[in-house]
Amino acid sequence: MSLSRHTLLVFTGRLIVLVVILLGAELGVRYGLLSQLFFSSPSQIADAFRIQLAQGTLLSNIGITVFETLLGLVVGSLAGIAVGLVLPQMRTLSRVIEPFLMVLNGIPVIVIAPLFILWLGLGLLSKIGVSVYIVFFAMFIPVYTASLRLEHTLVDALRVMGANRWQIFWKVVVPSSMPSVYTGLKIGSGLALIGAVIGEFVASRSGLGHMILYASGTLDTPTLYLGIIALAVFAGILSLTIDAMGPLLVRWRFFDEK
Amino acid sequence: MLEFRNVSFNFAGRRNGVEVLHDVSFACRADEIVAVIGPSGCGKSTLLSLANGLRKPSAGKVILDGKPVDGPSRLIGMLFQQSTLLPWRSVVENVELGLEIRGEPKDSRRDKAVTLMRQYGLSGFERKYPHALSGGMQKRAALAQTLAMGPEVLLLDEPFAALDAQTRVVIENDVVKICRAGKRSMVLVTHDIAEAISMADRVVVLTRRPATVKETFEIPFSRDAKSVADVPGMPEFTTYFRRIWDALDISVTGMDNAA
């Protein structure tokens, strides 16, 4: 009873905050308290939304950024999982290339993006490239660390039962990396979007990043806010989707029974 | 019969490495339970890793039924101190794991696992994950997993150390019964003198590192006991406890010296 009252209070509080922000922006801009150059009222943003929707530009820009992000997330994650799992199996090779990977990971993605534009052009491919690049490390590092710190007793137990390296890899190494894959997906999903938008910021002809940058350059403040809101909504949906994948990837962490 | 024949083991290291075991010899016949007891860190667990095939002796041989042990064997099963159940598999999937590794078809290995689980009081927990089981039930599941492969020799590396006292006696008793019923050999590594006397036909006492066999005690009465819980109440128990304690030569004056 008290829990539901508490929850109700929290939701009411959130609703109040939202209404205050929207109402404050609407009235502030309408009565000249907030400069139209820096702020837009919700009604102005709604107008921009209607216009862009009618022109078809909003949906195509959203679609492009969503496509780049999802492809970056999928390809980067798969590559990160594969390298993170296989590399620890080859001790010498892993020790040779580990410092190179760590240095690459340390380079800010914003300075890597121009390289991808140079290599892959102004189109979607370069944005996907940037996205893959940062997602790869977000996935590789937790998976790699987990496979290095594998529970040794489990491996010994399987070896005593006669398991070969292949069986140990599939029955112990891969499943025990799943919590790290889940972590990697959580971090990587946010970074995938950042990678795509950074790519669009550096040089592009379409996408939400391009729309925001163009709106900023032409002092079209409502469209700028519209782009940010669209990105925020997509980021929220993506994050909720990844959270919902937890019980699929690491069911044993969520339930008592298979 | 499992036999340690003049077994020595060095951990590889600078120059000659560290000698852990030195010229250890003893045998464990079929239908016999041998407990190995020794000071902490003396190499008891290393001894088992030579028998289960994960390590090779630096000198000497471990021999099973006349053939040297050369790598893991389906005739040798092991129960570890820590839980070795895979947390992402249900209990029944864990119990059938050894058979799965061996390539047994799904239906027949599942049948065997379910049957074993029924025998060991794990019915109804087939679909549970290991973390949902008590420590004692996890041990039973691990035991069922080992026995599913039908080993002739059971190696136990202090498997009951983490259990509470009551659960422990019940499982010790089960293990002894299972071992006797199947005419299996069992080598139990422990640091618990009472456990060694209660379960074993013979207690091998090792020295400090490099460990070698210091003394062997035949325990003629443990086999006659109805339950391992009855052994500590038997008149001979105290005598053997004292003799083994003396052989272990544990210094209990450490605190005084430190002060």
Chain A residues closer than 8 Å to B98 by CB: 161-162
pLDDT value for A207:
95
B166 within a domain of the structure (yes/no): no
Residue B8: Cβ within 10 Å count: 18
Q: Which residues of A106-128 are buried (b: 16+ CB within 10 A; e: fewer)?
A: eeebeebbeebbeebeeebebbb
Encoding tokens for residue B4?
A: 């340690």
pLDDT value for A187:
96
- Please count the residue pairs, one from chain A and one from chain B, whose beta carbons lie less than 8 angstroms apart: 68
The reply to whether residue B84 touches residue A153, judged by beta carbons under 8 angstroms, is yes
Whether the pLDDT of residue A111 is over 90: the answer is: yes
Nearest to A252 among B77, B80, B129 (CB): B129
d(CA A59, CA A180): 34
Domain that holds residue B57: 1-75+155-161+185-252
d(CA A145, CA A155): 17
Radius of gyration of chain B (CA): 19
Whether the pLDDT of residue B99 is over 80: the answer is: yes
Q: What residues of chain A, 167 to 206, have a C-beta less than 8 Å from chain B? A: 167, 171-172, 175-176, 178
**Mean pLDDT within B182-206:** 93
3-class DSSP state of B77? strand
**Mean pLDDT within A215-239:** 96
In this structure, what CATH number is given to the domain that contains residue B214?
A: 3.40.50.300
Q: Closest chain B residue to A158 measured between Cα atoms? A: B98
Q: Closest chain A residue to B87 measured between Cα atoms? A: A252
**Across chain B, how many H-helices and E-strands are there?**
9, 10
The reply to whether residue A160 touches residue B53, judged by beta carbons under 8 angstroms, is yes
B172 within a domain of the structure (yes/no): no
pLDDT value for A105:
92
The reply to whether residue A156 touches residue B82, judged by beta carbons under 8 angstroms, is no
B58 within a domain of the structure (yes/no): yes
Sheet holding B185-190, edge to edge: B76-79, B153-157, B185-190, B33-37, B202-206, B213-218
d(CA A216, CA B93): 58
Q: Which of A47-51, B131-135, B249-253 has the lowest mean pLDDT?
A: B249-253
Chain B residues closer than 8 Å to A254 by CB: none
The reply to whether residue A162 touches residue B102, judged by beta carbons under 8 angstroms, is yes
The reply to whether residue A161 touches residue B149, judged by beta carbons under 8 angstroms, is yes
* Probe site for chain A from B62, B92, B101, B156 (most A CB atoms < 10 A): B101
E-state strands within chain B: 2-11, 18-28, 33-37, 59-64, 67-68, 76-79, 153-157, 185-190, 202-206, 213-218
Sign of CA dihedral A131, A134, A140, A146: negative
The reply to whether residue A160 touches residue B72, judged by beta carbons under 8 angstroms, is yes
Helical pair B106-119 and B135-148, crossing angle rounded to 10 deg: 130
Question: B151-193: per-residue pLDDT in tens?
Answer: 999 999 998 988 898 889 999 999 998 888 888 999 999 989 9
Whether the pLDDT of residue B226 is over 90: the answer is: no
DSSP result, B119-177: HTT-TT-TTB-GGGS-HHHHHHHHHHHHHHT--SEEEEESTTTTS-HHHHHHHHHHHHH
Nearest to B72 among A162, A171, A175 (CB): A162
pLDDT value for A200:
96
B213 within a domain of the structure (yes/no): yes
pLDDT value for B259:
40
* Probe site for chain B from A152, A155, A160, A257 (most B CB atoms < 10 A): A160
Nearest to B87 among A153, A162, A252 (CB): A252
- Domain spans of chain A, in order of start: 58-254
| A244 contact B CB<8A | no
Chain B residues closer than 8 Å to A257 by CB: 90, 127-129, 132
Residues sharing a CB contact under 8 Å with residue B248, sequence separation 6 or more, in sequence order = B37, B38, B39, B193, B205
B104 within a domain of the structure (yes/no): no
B110 within a domain of the structure (yes/no): no
Whole-number percent of chain B with pLDDT over 90: 68
**Total structural domains within chain B:** 1
Beta bridge partners of B152: none
Q: What residues of chain A, 137 to 156, have a C-beta less than 8 Å from chain B? A: 153-154, 156
pLDDT value for B13:
65
In the structure, what pLDDT confidence band is assigned to residue B228 with cuts at 50, 70 and 90?
Answer: confident
Chain B residues closer than 8 Å to A153 by CB: 80, 82, 84
Q: Closest chain B residue to A161 measured between Cα atoms? A: B98
**Mean pLDDT within A44-61:** 95
**Mean pLDDT within A106-121:** 94
Encoding tokens for residue A138?
A: 């977000």
The reply to whether residue B86 touches residue A175, judged by beta carbons under 8 angstroms, is yes
d(CA A155, CA B204): 29
Chain B residues closer than 8 Å to A157 by CB: 78, 80, 84
d(CA B27, CA A217): 86
Whether the pLDDT of residue B258 is over 70: the answer is: no
Nearest to B101 among A153, A162, A251 (CB): A162
* CATH 3.40.50.300 is the classification of domain A58-254: no
